[in-house]
A and B are shown apart, each in its own frame.
Chain A
Amino acid sequence: MEHFIVLAFKNVFRQKKRSFTLGVNYAVVAFILVLLMAFSHGASVNIADSLVKATAGHITITGQFAKGGKIYNGLSRTPDIVSAVTDTYGDAKVLVRYLVRSTLYFNGLSKRLSFTGIDTGKDPTFQDQAVFKNPASDGSWSGFAQDPNGVLMPQDTANYFGLKLGDQVVLSTRTRFGAFNTGILTVRGIYTTDNYFAKDLVLTHFDFLRNLDLADPTASTAVYVYFPRVENLSAKRDNIDRALKAKGFDVAVPASDTEAIAAVSAASPKYETDKEGRDRVMLKVATLDEVLGLVRTILAAVNAVGALISLVMLFIIAVSIFINLKMNINERLMEIGTMRALGVEGWRVTVLFILESVSLALVFSILGGLLAVGASALIRIGPTFPPGGNLGIFLQKGHLMLLPTLGSFISVILVIGLFAALFSFFPARKGGAIPPVAALTKTF
């Protein structure tokens, strides 16, 4: 059989022009598919990384609590939640946040914004990401950390209001109980970040937002849990669920990806009437995989579109394979007749033609795939895109993250090879079935 393989490889380039034309098609399909999968994988890795550095943990705990016949959004008994996690996983890092959507008023302008309350002493998540271009005019992290009524404004928001360092802004929000409350914040920093999920967050202090929301001292809106290793998040979540239940919490997992996304983006507590009539804290414990589920669904849709384009191209290739092989067989009738006259069975002739076709597909799809790997590397280090643009969610430090994997590379080559084998089988079988006499007399 190895002779057949060697022969098949040699035969690939007997009709250089024809083989090259077909081969380029294989290469283009492989290029598109490898690039798409690199985009998909890169986007998934990048979004997970950015999300974890902004508004999600490896495990995110959000929820509601019922008290006095009313259900409030947000968490109560936060210290108990934190201790349930740390008792279960001593090496886990736990961050507590307070998220509020509130209207900001300044200089005759107003806008509803998402405020993220952090404990600057314990939560360094944003410290390394926030860039203050000019400390004299844009402030600093330490200036913000030292002022309990300080706020860090994203550059775009600061530009909208015309804010500068030291300006005081008014916040007005309907609290979780229904009453309006207001507060004053002093701008202690104007920052930019290349993290898509952090770029619009107005950062302020946890206690400030909790007080603004008129919430009790054990209240928060989200608890983020980070592990040194990200494996087996579902199992870790199950263990945390058990610990939380043991402390008297009602625990549930998100019913869908959408619910998981909602869990990490929950803000602006409000209340509704409790029909159960039992004071309780209801927690929703979501893993990062669940939060990213929706992203993966979107990326799968992007991949599906790419796959559809590739499929159309592959069918064009299928027709080309068919015609190409037919022409090949017609041109090589003498060769087929000779092989058959020498005693080569018909199925071996069929295999030879299939091997030729598959060899052509493999050579060019590998080339196309390698080209895609090279292009991915170039794009990764090459052009810088604006973080606020349409591509923002896929960018890391302004670069589009295309991360091809060996698995995706091999699977693309295999699929194209199998495809070539499948569509060359029928004409090849016909070639193999030609009687030697008919082939030698070219009467077929």
Chain B
Amino acid sequence: MEVPMRVNVSKIEKTAVFFLSLMVGILSPLGAQQSSVTSSDPGAVKIVRNYEDKLNLVGFDITNTFTLIQKKSGEADRVLQIKIYRRDSADTFTLIFQYPNSEKGKGYYRNKDDLFLYLPSTREFVYRNRKDDVGSTDVRTDLFGKASAETQYYLNLAGTATVAKWECDVVRYDAKQLDVSYPIQKWYIRRTDGLPVKVENFSASGTLLRTTYYVDYQQVAPNKYIFTKLLGVDALEKGQQTFLTNEGISTAKIPNYVFSKAFLEEQSR
């Protein structure tokens, strides 16, 4: 059974439909294995292209620090601090864990499709899936880089919704092939500035897996934005959520050496 989303509904109806969607998604056994959608809506494509362009930081070197607070019911909060260097034009980034001390020196280095996790305890690089979760949180390593939803998904308008105080267009993503993590997604794009404020990720059978809220953005250049606050909520693991703050954002040129395994090794010493 698919998640019913291609409707324009009132606020109450929207809430009902949303929870119904969740219930249907969660309670249905294997329903929709692969979406029957085979085309994109030009209006949706335009919206997506617009926000992708705004978030596309290709041509910039970005240095920033992520602070992730992971909350799990029944467990103490987990805090991670990660320094990030990214150069989207070269499809590369380097992540270095700075906190807690037990994780200090650990890091990721991505060069195009190759993602390596560096473990300072054994001084070895472990090859990982580029879609790896960062430090077992809800934040993923494919968060950065130039997004190109059009190539992987059919994009269609799925009504409007209000997220917090913002009126949003809802764009439904249906995977063209099942080699993406989330075959169905719903992106809520606010009408005021065309930036996404909420993303829902669904499994192939239509079950909501996680919701990401883009709480705030910072402008780094004319018509170029980067998120500064993000909340990831795990829909299956009740009570598990990750709050991410993005601070110390700089667009100053980063030395090439930073994007190397050697840099990761050096930083861990």
Give Cα A172–Cα B25 distance, bound, in whole angstroms: 12
**8 Å CB contacts to A: which residues of B203-237?**
203-205, 207, 209, 236-237
Q: List A contacts of B237 (CB < 8 A).
A: 105, 108, 110
Contact yes or no, B33 A211, CB < 8 A = yes
Q: How far is the CA of A175 from the CA of B177 in the complex (A)?
A: 12
Which residues of B have CB within 8 Å of A168?
27
Tell me, in angstroms, the Cα distance from A13 to B203 when the chains sit together.
82
Which chain A residues (141-195) contact chain B, with CB distance < 8 Å?
A: 149, 168, 170, 172, 174-175, 177-185
**B162 CB-CB contact with A under 8 Å:** no
Task: Return the contact of B236 from the options A105, A181, A185, A271 (Cβ within 8 A).
Answer: A105
Give the residue name and chain of the A residue nearest to B180 (CB): A179
A179 CA to B179 CA in the complex, in Å?
6
A214 and B204 contact, CB distance less than 8 A: yes
A108 in contact with B179 (CB, 8 Å): no
Neighbour of B238 across the interface among A108, A181, A208, A211, CB < 8 A:
A108
Interface of A: prevailing SS: strand
Q: Is A182 a contact partner of B183 (Cβ separation < 8 A)?
A: no
Residues of B within 8 A of A108 (CB): 73-74, 237-239
Determine the distance from Cα of A168 to Cα of B207 in the docked complex, in whole angstroms: 15
Residues of A within 8 A of B29 (CB): 149, 183-185, 208
A182 engages B180 (CB within 8 Å): no
A179 to B33, CA, bound (A): 11
Cβ-Cβ contact count across A and B, 8 Å cutoff: 77
Are A170 and B178 neighbours in the complex by a CB distance under 8 Å? no
Query: What separation, in Å, do the CA atoms of A406 and B136 have in the docked complex?
Result: 56
Determine how close the nearest CB of chain B comes to the CB of A9; give it in whole angstroms.
64
B40 at the interface (CB under 8 A from A): no
Whether A170 pairs with B26 at a CB distance below 8 angstroms is yes
B27 touches A214 (CB 8 A): no
Bound Cα distance from A182 to B237, whole angstroms: 13
Residue interface mask A15-34, B partner, CB < 8 A = 1: 00000000000000000000
Chain A interface, number of residues (Cβ within 8 angstroms): 24
Taking the complex as formed, is A201 at the interface, i.e. its CB lies under 8 A from any CB of chain B? Answer: no
User: Does any Cβ of A come within 8 Å of B30's Cβ?
Assistant: yes
Instruction: Provide the bound-state CA to CA distance between A183 and B33, in Å.
Output: 11
Are A172 and B179 touching (Cβ within 8 A)?
A: no
Say yes or no: A179 contacts B236, CB within 8 Å.
no
| Contact call B178/A177, Cβ cutoff below 8 A | yes
Decide yes or no whether A38 CB sits under 8 A from chain B: no
User: Would you call A179 and B239 a contact (CB within 8 A)?
Assistant: no
Which residues of chain B have C-beta atoms less than 8 A from A185's C-beta?
Answer: 29
A178 in contact with B236 given A214-B33, A214-B34 (CB within 8 Å): no
Q: Is the CB of B28 within 8 A of A179?
A: no
Residues of A within 8 A of B201 (CB): 180
Given A172-B207, A172-B236, A214-B33, the answer on whether A179 and B27 have CB atoms closer than 8 Å is: no
Q: Please tell me if the beta carbons of A182 and B209 are within 8 angstroms of each other in the complex.
A: yes
Residues of chain B lying within 8 A (CB to CB) of residue A105: 236-237
CB-contacts of A233-281 with B (<8 A):
271
Verify if B99 is at the interface (C-beta below 8 Å from A): no
Q: Kindly provide the distance from the CB of A10 to the nearest chain B CB, expressed in whole angstroms.
A: 68
In angstroms, how far is the closest chain B Cβ from the Cβ of A177? 4
Q: Which residues of B contact A214 (CB under 8 A)?
A: 33-34, 178, 204
Checking A149, A178, A181 against B203 with a beta-carbon cut-off of 8 angstroms, the contacting residue is A181
Tell me whether B60 is interfacial, beta carbon within 8 Å: no
Instruction: Verify A179–B209 contact, CB threshold 8 A.
Output: no
Interface centre among B30, B175, B183, B236 (most CB of A within 10 A): B30
Q: How far is the CA of A179 from the CA of B239 in the complex (A)?
A: 24
Q: Once the chains are docked, how many angstroms separate the CA of A183 from the CA of B26?
A: 8
Q: Is B39 an interface residue (CB 8 A)?
A: no
CB distance from B2 to the nearest CB of A (A): 13
CA distance A271 to B204 in the complex (A): 17
Residues of chain B contacted by A170 (CB below 8 angstroms): 26, 207, 236
Residues of chain A with a CB closer than 8 A to B236's CB:
103, 105, 110, 170, 172, 182
Q: Is B144 an interface residue (CB 8 A)?
A: no
Q: Which of A336-363 contact B (CB under 8 A)?
A: none
Write out, one digit per residue, whether chain A residues 96-116 have a CB within 8 A of any chain B CB (1) or not (0): 000000010100101000000
* Chain A residues within an 8 Å CB radius of B27: 168, 184
Q: Which of B103-144 contact A (CB under 8 A)?
A: 131
- Residues of chain B within 8 A (CB-CB) of A172 are 203, 207, 209, 236
Contacts of A211 in B (CB 8 A): 30, 33
Q: How far apart are the CA atoms of A175 and B181 in the complex, in Å?
A: 9
Task: Give A108 to B235 CA distance when docked, in angstroms.
Answer: 10
Nearest B residue to A184, CB-CB: B29
Q: Is the CB of B181 within 8 A of A179?
A: yes
A-B contact pairs, 30 of them (CB 8 A): A108-B237, A110-B236, A149-B29, A168-B27, A170-B207, A172-B207, A172-B209, A175-B178, A177-B179, A178-B131, A178-B180, A178-B181, A179-B175, A179-B181, A179-B182, A179-B183, A179-B203, A181-B30, A181-B33, A182-B205, A182-B207, A183-B29, A183-B30, A183-B205, A184-B28, A208-B29, A212-B30, A214-B33, A214-B178, A271-B179
Which residues does B use to contact A, with CB under 8 Å? 25-30, 33-34, 73-74, 131, 175, 177-183, 201, 203-205, 207, 209, 236-239
Per CB-CB distance, the 10 closest pairs between chain A and chain B, nearest first, are A182-B207, A177-B178, A182-B203, A181-B204, A179-B178, A178-B179, A179-B183, A180-B203, A184-B29, A105-B236
